Amino acid sequence: MLELIPVLLISITIVFFMVRLAPGGPFTSEKSFPAEAIERLNQHYGLDKPILVQYGNYLLNLLKGDLGPSFQYPSRTVNDIIKETFPVSLELGALAMLFALSIGLLAGIVASLKPNTLQDHMPMGLAMTGICMPSFVLGPLLILVFGLWLGWFNASGWELPSDRVLPVITLGAAYAAYISRLTRGSMLEILPADYIRTARAKGLSEATVIFKHTLKNALLPVVSYLGPATAGILTGSFVVETIFNIPGMGRMFVLAAFNRDYTLILGLVVFFSLLVVVFNAVVDILLGLLNPKLRMHA
Amino acid sequence: MSRKPVKNSLWADSWKQLRKNHAAIAGLIILIILITASALAPLLTPYSFEQQNLELGAVKPSLHHWLGTDTLGRDLFTRLLYGGRTSFLVGICATAVSLLIGVPYGAVSGYAGGKVDSVMMRIVDILYTMPFTILVIILMVVFGRNILLMFGAIGAIQWLVMARIIRGQVMALRKQAFVEAAIAIGASHPRIIFKHIIPNVLGIIIVYTTLTIPHVMLMETFLSFLGLGIQPPMSSWGLLIKDGASVMETYPWLLISPAIVFSVTLFSMNFLGDGLRDALDPRFSKGKF
C-alpha cells in the first residue's frame, strides 16, 4: 500500500513539468488577447513565478484537497468540475463493470461445462469478437444499427434510462469477453479436481457443485483482473463518453487536453490515479478474502 | 504426446503444430495480404491518399472507387491502404522499442537475481501502476502529434510486460547445465546473456511480440480516434474510423469498411498470437485460453 504514494507523486510530478515546460500556454490560442491581459492572467494564476515555486504551491494546495482553478472555465474550480462530472462517469463505469461481470461469468461458466462443443465455441467465438472490436469501432457501429437504422435508442446523450444501454455495452463488451475467457480457463482447471468429484459423489446438486465449490475457486483470476479492468474502463470512458456525448470526466479530460487546460488536466490525472490506486487496494483485500493462502504470505 | 522419437528442432516442431491450427494460419495469410497490400499501396491504386476532389464529394462504392470516397472526395480504398501503412508501421516500430528495452532489462534482472533483481522488478512494478495511457495522451498534446514520439511513448509502456515475461524465463534457464558450463569455461556475463540465454527464450519473445503488436496498434488507433494521434492529411485506421463515425448517418460506408478492416486485423493477430503461444510456449497447454 505504501508504494502507492511515490507512484502518485511521480505521476503528478511528470505531468506537472510536462505541461508547464511545454511550448504554448493556456492563453496562447486566444490571439485576440492583448499582451497585458495575458500578463495579468499569468500573474493572477501565479504562472509568472519560478516553476519550482509553482510546483511547491501546487503540492501544498493538493494536500488541502484543492486542485486549483480551471483555465478554460474561469468561473469554476477543478474540484467543481470533478464533482459535476464524476457521478456520471461512476454510473457509466459501474454499469459497464456490472455488465461485463454478469455476461462474462455466465458465458464462461456455460462454455466450461461442455468444452469443445457448440455450447463452448459459440460464447468463446463471441468473446473473441468482443476482444477484437475496440470501443471506438463497436460504439459507432451500435449507434449506426440500433440508433439510426432501427431507431431503438438515442444516438447520443445521457438523459433517459435507455440512453445508458449502448454506452454500457460499448464500454463493457471487451471486459465481458476477457472475463468469460478467464472464467472458462480457470473453471476447466478446477472441474477435474478431486474435491469436485468428492462433492458430486456425496450427492450434492449440480448447481451447488458449480456455484459453491467450483466457481468460488475459479473466481480468483477474475478478481485479480478487476484491477487492470478498472483502469481500462477508466481510459475507455474517454472514447465512449466522446462518442456518445456523455457529460462525464472522460470527455472532460479529452476536452481539457485539447484546450491545454493545465490545471484541469493535472487535477483529473491526480483524481484518476487516486481512483486506480484505491481500487487496486480493494481488489487486493478481496483476493485475500477469497484466498486464505495469500493472507498467510502477506 | 505419443510421438516417435524423431529428432526435430523446436522450430520444425512448432511449425508443424502451428500448421494444424487453422485459425492461426488463416490469420497469418490475412496479415500477409494486408501488410503486402499496404506496403505496395502506390502500385495498387491510381489515387493519392491526400488528393481531394471536392466536386465529387462522398460517393458510394463503385467501379472507380471500390470503397467509395470520403466527404473531401478522397478515395477510401487508397486511404485504407495508406492507413494500413501507418498502423502497421506504428505497431512494428513501437513493438521494436519495447523489445529493445524489455528483453535486455528482463534478461539482466533474471540473470543477476538477488538484490539487483528485486530492485529492478520493483521499478517495473511501480511503473506498471502509473496511468500510462493518460501520460501518452498528455505527451501527444504537449509536444505535438509527432509520429516518432508516439513510437517511443507506446514502446515505453509495452516493455514492462515484456521485461516481466523474459525475466521469468531467464530465471528458470539460469540454473541449467549449459549456463553453468559457459560460466565454467570463463565466458563473460554479457556473453552468456546474449549468446546463450536470449537465443533460448526466442520462442517466447516471438509469441509476445505477436501479442504486443495488436496492443500497440489499438493504442495508436485509440489516440488517432480521439484526434490526438496521426493528423490529417495523413491516413491511419483510427483516423478513418473517427471520420467515418462523424458522418455515419449520411455516409455509412465510410465507417463500415475501416471498422471491418481494423477488426479483421486484430482478429488475425490475436489468432496468430494464440496459435504461436500454443506452439512455442510450453507453459500454456492447448485450448486453455
CA–CA min distance A236, chain B (Å)? 9
pLDDT at B135 over 50: yes
C-alpha cell at B101: 528495452
Cα separations in angstroms, A112 against A107, A116, A186, B187, B210: 9, 9, 9, 50, 27
Residues of A in contact with B237 (CB under 8 A): none
pLDDT at B288 over 50: no
CA–CA min distance B8, chain A (Å)? 30
The pLDDT value given to residue A295 = 61
The pLDDT value given to residue A102 = 93
Q: Residue type for B124, please? A: V
Q: How far is CA A58 from the centre of its chain?
A: 26
Check if B239 contacts A (Cβ < 8 Å).
Answer: no
CB contact at 8 A, B94 and B158: yes
Per-residue pLDDT of chain A (298 residues; tens, 9 = 90+): 566 677 778 878 888 887 777 665 566 555 566 677 777 777 777 777 778 888 888 888 888 878 877 777 777 888 888 888 899 999 999 999 999 999 999 999 989 888 888 888 888 888 888 888 888 888 888 888 888 888 888 877 787 888 888 999 999 998 998 899 888 888 888 888 888 888 888 888 888 888 888 888 888 888 888 877 887 888 788 889 988 888 888 888 888 887 777 788 888 888 887 887 788 778 878 878 877 776 655 4
CA–CA min distance B225, chain A (Å)? 7
Other residues' Cβ atoms within 10 Å of the Cβ of residue A165: 17
Residues of A in contact with B248 (CB under 8 A): 140, 143-144, 148
Query: d(Cα A200, Cα A209) in Å, to the nearest integer?
Result: 7
The pLDDT value given to residue B8 = 61
Residues of A in contact with B271 (CB under 8 A): 128
pLDDT at B32 over 60: yes
Q: Greater confidence, B45 or A297?
A: B45
> What are the beta bridge partners of residue B69?
B75
* Contact between chains at B289 and A185 (C-beta distance less than 8 A): yes
CB contact at 8 A, A14 and B142: no
Nearest CA in chain A to B126: A7
CA–CA min distance A123, chain B (Å)? 13
Other residues' Cβ atoms within 10 Å of the Cβ of residue B75: 24
The pLDDT value given to residue A97 = 92
Yes or no: is domain B30-37+89-286 CATH 2.70.150.10?
no
The pLDDT value given to residue A1 = 55
Q: Report how many helices (DSSP H) and strands (DSSP E) chain B contains, helices first.
A: 12, 0
pLDDT at B105 over 80: yes
Q: Vertex B228, ends B223 and B231: CA angle to 5°?
A: 105
Residue in A239, A249, A229 with CA at minimum distance from that of residue A137: A239
pLDDT at B124 over 90: no
C-alpha cell at B140: 501527444
The pLDDT value given to residue B287 = 41
Tell me the mean pLDDT in the region B104-113: 89
Query: d(Cα A29, Cα A227) in Å, to the nearest integer?
Result: 39
**Surface of B (194-233) touching A: CB under 8 A:** 218, 221-222, 225-228
Check if B153 contacts A (Cβ < 8 Å).
Answer: no
**Which pLDDT band holds residue B128 (cuts at 50, 70, 90)?**
confident
ipTM for the complex shown: 0.75
The pLDDT value given to residue A101 = 92
Parse chain B into domains and list their residue ranges. Answer: 30-37+89-286
Check if A148 contacts B (Cβ < 8 Å).
Answer: yes
Q: Residue type for B263, please? A: S
Tell me the mean pLDDT in the region B228-251: 82
Check if A14 contacts B (Cβ < 8 Å).
Answer: yes
Q: Encode pLDDT of B55-98 as tens digits.
A: 666 667 776 767 777 777 677 888 888 888 888 888 888 888 88
Residue environment code for B84-94, b if the CB has 16+ CB neighbours within 10 A, otherwise e: bbbbbbbbebb
Contacts of A105 (CB under 8 A, 6+ apart): A179, A180, A183, A215, A222
Is the CA virtual torsion A222, A228, A234, A237 positive or negative?
A: negative
Average pLDDT along chain B: 81
Q: Encode pLDDT of B163-207 as tens digits.
A: 988 898 888 888 888 888 888 898 888 888 888 888 888 888 888
CA dihedral B109, B113, B116, B118 (to 10 degrees): 90
Q: How far is CA A165 from the centre of its chain?
A: 17
* Contact between chains at A14 and B142 (C-beta distance less than 8 A): no
Query: d(Cα A105, Cα A69) in Å, to the nearest integer?
Result: 43
| 3-state SS assignment for residue B69 | strand
Contacts of B6 (CB under 8 A, 6+ apart): none
* Contact between chains at A148 and B249 (C-beta distance less than 8 A): yes
Nearest CA in chain A to B214: A132
